[in-house]
Chain A
Amino acid sequence: MKFHIGTAAVSVLASAVWLGAASAQAQQTVNMPDVVELSGPGAVSGTNWRDGVTLAVDELNAKGGILGRKIVTTHSDTQSNPGISRAQVQKALDGDPYVILGPIFSGSVKVNMVLAQQAEVPQFTGAEAADITQAGNPYIFRTSFGQQASMPKIANYIRDGVKAKSVALVWVNNDFGKGGRDNFAREMAARGIKVTVDISTESGQVDFAADVVKVKSANADAVFVYTNEEESARFLREARKQGIRVPLIGETTLLNQKVIELAGDAANGVRGHVGLSADVPVAAIQAFKDKFIKRFNYSPDHNAIKGYTAVHAIRYVTEKIGKFDRKLLAKTLHGLTITPQMEPGILIETTWDDKGDIDRISFLAEVVDGKQRITQTLPKLGK
């Protein structure tokens, strides 16, 4: 075989040009991968989050991106499986990201946040398990309340609003549910409210007949349900089928738009605390909801708002510090309050503390005629 020097030279030159172009292209973009639940029990949450992120990214790219760089986001499916989420985060880290978005399921976050921490990459998660921000990770940031913030609020409502002396507790047996159950039980004990029955259910469970019978037998003044979206809908349907009459109370998930859609009439009368909702009487959130429906043809839930606000928060802090510096982003965000005047995409004034937990106003709500109706606004926990 003859060795054509000319062909070799052209090949080397072409490679150099291609590599140069790719490098220049990379410098014109910022990589923000999204690792989230797009199938499995978390699909409802993850799909909303993904679409919230997509809306925010497209909005920002239409305005020139962040510091002149277009945002590049790929959405990877964790399949609601912690092991797969870890692999997806590792794959995302291999692409030298600026930040990582997601996941939402607490079990997955606990497994994969170690990788992001080791790589010193800020991670914005939708997870709510209390211990996620207790592990001393300076790179983890929530986009919704942790359970240590939401459970005192719902406990106060059960004591003062519902005036219940006893409560039946139904929770999902995963990291999200266990953390919620532990925090809720502690708050009930602190207020002298008896937990008459403590029922664990499985993630992905479809049959709740036995669980509802156990709840009925407990004769509690109220029922607190803390499961994921699809399971919540199935539980509500079964509870309605078996004629449960006492108040059914939840924390954000139980009053979620998707749960209301799936449960139908069975969701009417459900009450609880919502940290975030597309139905709150805040003009910015209503505008977001309209934009979302127009783009994706369905009503967003709180996970969509989480994804949307995360991207905008990242944009604000990056432009504040004036450069793409992961460590400085994390350091700046700790203790920062972002208002809608400073960054319209944040929708509601939000403060991050030194552990990555957030604080903002929240709401009490009830489901009436298939719609979530806000009944009270609660102030921020901090000042």
Chain B
Amino acid sequence: MTDLVQLLVAGLATGAIYALVAVGFTLLWQTSQTINFAQGEFVMVPAFFVLAAMKFGGASFPVALLLGLIASLLVLGVLFKKLLVDPMIRHGVLPLVISTIALALFLKEGVKEFYAADAQPFPALWATTNITVVGAVIALQNLVIIGVAIAAIAALQWFLAATRTGRSMQATAQNPLLARILGIRVERMILYTFLINAGLVALASVLISPIYLAKFSNGETLGLVAFIAAIVGGFNQVRGAIAGGLLLGVLDNLVAAYVSTQYRGAIPLFLLIAVILFRPQGLLGRAEERSV
């Protein structure tokens, strides 16, 4: 029983990070029809912004975190939109998708070439202590990750639902043409979405890098799992991305502990196939219809 509790908590912590990344995926798709296959690398890069600020700029860790966040918003938000998405989306979704795949390779090889090919230690924001709950030893780190992810997503949901800007972003996602007619600055709303995604991936990076270590190849697995989480949960619903991320995190741990370590990587793929076959809109997604 104590093992199960520990596995569930660890799984929820990992799943919370997947959820943060999957929410970013979903938001970008909803507002700008962007499928970003570099999302995993977007999680990897902010950690290296922070490390570079410390190593080359001599900044302290808190200052480096701030600098890393600013760099992430600029590069992964503004520059990504202006230099890649805007020019490519005119040609359709597929060219944009291929461009993001190229961007993923560019970011990965760039970090490997200009920073390091081996893993780098990344400072943690919390102490490595444990607490005991019903006999199970729970790492404080996991609780912090779950708490921070919940807070971030709750703040995002509040922003989208309770603020004028957030509602404008929702309107843009639902019907950009109508939103424009109603006087909403659609381009600005889309830019905000990219900035929110950049913030979410930067947060995910800071949470996951102390555990996974910062390495140029971290994005490969994270990106794939987050994409699957978004599809499984429902690509057109933020709550679907959250559910998908948490489900995959927990399932991964339970399968590794009770079934097989070797096949843990196959479980998300089996789940993806099952969802596509039997519930293509995702577990919490909304079925969409198109006139032909």
Closest to A173 in B: B262
Q: Chain B residues near A243: list those with CB within 8 A.
A: 130, 137, 139
Q: Are A264 and B11 in contact (CB under 8 A)?
A: no
B14 near A241: Cβ-Cβ < 8 Å: no
A211 to B260 CA separation, bound complex (whole angstroms):
10
Q: Is B198 an interface residue (CB 8 A)?
A: no
* Whole-angstrom CA separation of A217 from B136 in the bound complex: 12
Those of A234-268 within 8 Å (CB) of chain B: 234, 237-238, 240-243, 258, 261-262, 264-266
Any B CB within 8 A of the CB of A282: no
Q: Cα distance A47–B116 when bound, in Å?
A: 10
**Is the CB of B102 closer than 8 A to any CB of chain A?**
no
Q: How far is it, in angstroms, between the C-alpha of A202 and the C-alpha of B254 when the chains are bound?
A: 16
Give the residue of B118, B139, B216, B256 whose beta carbon is less than 8 angstroms from that of A242. Answer: B139
Stretch at the interface among B2-10, B86-94, B152-160: B2-10
Task: Select one of A44, A202, A206, A238 contacting B118, CB under 8 A.
Answer: A44
Whether the pair B14, A207 counts as a contact (CB closer than 8 A) is: yes
* Contact assessment for A47 and B118 in the assembled complex, using a CB-CB cutoff below 8 Å: yes
- Chain B: residues with Cβ within 8 Å of the partner, total of 36
Chain B's nearest CB lies how many Å from the CB of A302?
15
Q: A43-B117, A44-B118, A234-B211 are in contact. Are A209 and B262 (CB under 8 A)?
A: no
Q: Does A175 contact B (CB under 8 A)?
A: no
Whether the Cβ atoms of A262 and B11 lie closer than 8 Å is: no
Cβ–Cβ contact B121 & A264, under 8 A: yes
Can you give 10 A-B contacts (C-beta < 8 A)? A44-B119, A207-B211, A207-B252, A207-B253, A207-B256, A209-B253, A233-B119, A242-B130, A242-B139, A262-B121
Closest 3 CB pairs of A and B: A210-B256, A209-B10, A210-B257
Q: Can you list, as one digit per residue, whether each of A20-50 has a CB less than 8 Å from chain B (1) or not (0)? A: 0000000000000000001110011001000
| CB contact between A202 and one of B141, B213, B257, B261 (< 8 Å): that residue | B261
Distance between B51 CB and nearest chain A CB, rounded to angstroms: 13
Let me know if A379 is at the binding interface, CB within 8 A. no
Chain A contacts for B254, CB-based, 8 A? 210
Which residues of A sit under 8 angstroms from B210, Cβ to Cβ? 237
Q: Is B279 an interface residue (CB 8 A)?
A: no
Given the known A-B contacts A44-B119, A213-B7, A262-B119, are A206 and B262 also in contact in the complex, defined by CB atoms under 8 Å?
no
Write out the residue numbers on chain B whose beta carbons fall within 8 Å of the beta carbon of A199: 261
Which residues does chain A contribute within 8 Å of B10, judged by CB atoms? 209-210, 213
CB-contact partner of A213 in B3, B117, B118, B121, under 8 A = B3
Return the chain B residue nearest A233 by Cβ.
B213
Q: Mark B119-150, 1 if CB is under 8 A from A, else 0.
A: 11100000010100000010101100000000
Q: Considering the chains assembled together, what is the distance between the CA atoms of A214 and B261 in angstroms?
A: 11
Q: How far is the CA of A214 from the CA of B260 in the complex (A)?
A: 12
Q: Is the C-beta of A133 less than 8 angstroms from some C-beta in chain B?
A: no
Interface residues of B in 248-282 (CB under 8 A from A): 252-254, 256-257, 261-262, 264-265
Q: Is A360 an interface residue (CB 8 A)?
A: no
Residues in B neighbouring A266, C-beta threshold 8 A? 128
A interface, over-half SS: helix
Question: A residues near B, CB below 8 A?
Answer: 38-40, 43-44, 47, 173, 199-202, 204, 206-207, 209-211, 213-214, 216-217, 230, 233-234, 237-238, 240-243, 258, 261-262, 264-266
17 further A-B pairs in the complex, CB-CB below 8 A; given A209-B253, A237-B128, A242-B6: A44-B119, A201-B261, A204-B217, A206-B218, A207-B212, A207-B256, A209-B11, A209-B14, A213-B3, A213-B10, A233-B119, A242-B130, A242-B137, A243-B139, A258-B118, A261-B121, A266-B128
* Docked CA distance A40–B116 (Å): 11
Whether B215 sits at the interface, judged by CB under 8 Å, is yes
Binding site for A on B (CB under 8 A): 3, 6-7, 10-11, 14, 112, 117-121, 128, 130, 137, 139, 141-142, 210-213, 215-218, 221, 252-254, 256-257, 261-262, 264-265
> Once the chains bind, are B137 and A209 in contact (CB under 8 Å)?
no
Contact with A39, one of B11, B117, B218, B257 (Cβ below 8 angstroms): B117
With the chains together, A39 CA to B111 CA distance in Å? Answer: 12
Tell me the nearest residue of chain A to B210, going by C-beta: A237
| Closest chain B CB from A211 CB (angstroms) | 7
Partner of B7, one of A200, A204, A210: A210
Q: What is the bound-complex CA distance between A207 and B10, given in angstroms?
A: 10
Complex CA gap A209/B3 in Å reads 11
Are B7 and A240 in contact, with the CB atoms below 8 A? no
In the bound complex, residues from chain A placing their C-beta under 8 Å from that of B213 are: 206, 230, 233-234, 262
Contact of A210 among B117, B121, B211, B261 (CB under 8 A): B261
CA distance A201 to B265 in the complex (A): 12
B252 — nearest CB in chain A belongs to which residue? A207
> In the complex the two chains form, what is the Cα distance from A183 to B262 in whole Å?
21
Tell me, in angstroms, the Cα distance from A242 to B262 when the chains sit together: 22
A230 and B6 form a contact (CB under 8 A): no
> If A209-B11, A243-B137 touch, does A230 touch B119 (CB 8 Å cutoff)?
yes
Chain B CB within 10 Å, residue with most, of A40, A204, A206, A233: A206
B260 to chain A, nearest CB (A): 9
Q: List B contacts of A217 (CB < 8 A).
A: 3
Across the interface, do B130 and A241 meet the contact criterion of CB distance under 8 Å? Answer: yes
Minimum CB–CB distance from B135 to chain A (whole Å) comes to 12
Instruction: Name the residue on A nearest B140 (C-beta).
Output: A241
Closest to A79 in B: B117
Residue of A nearest to B132 (CB): A243
Q: How far is the CA of A210 from the CA of B213 in the complex (A)?
A: 18
Contacts of B218 in A (CB 8 A): 206
Cα-based distance from A266 to B129 in the complex (angstroms): 11
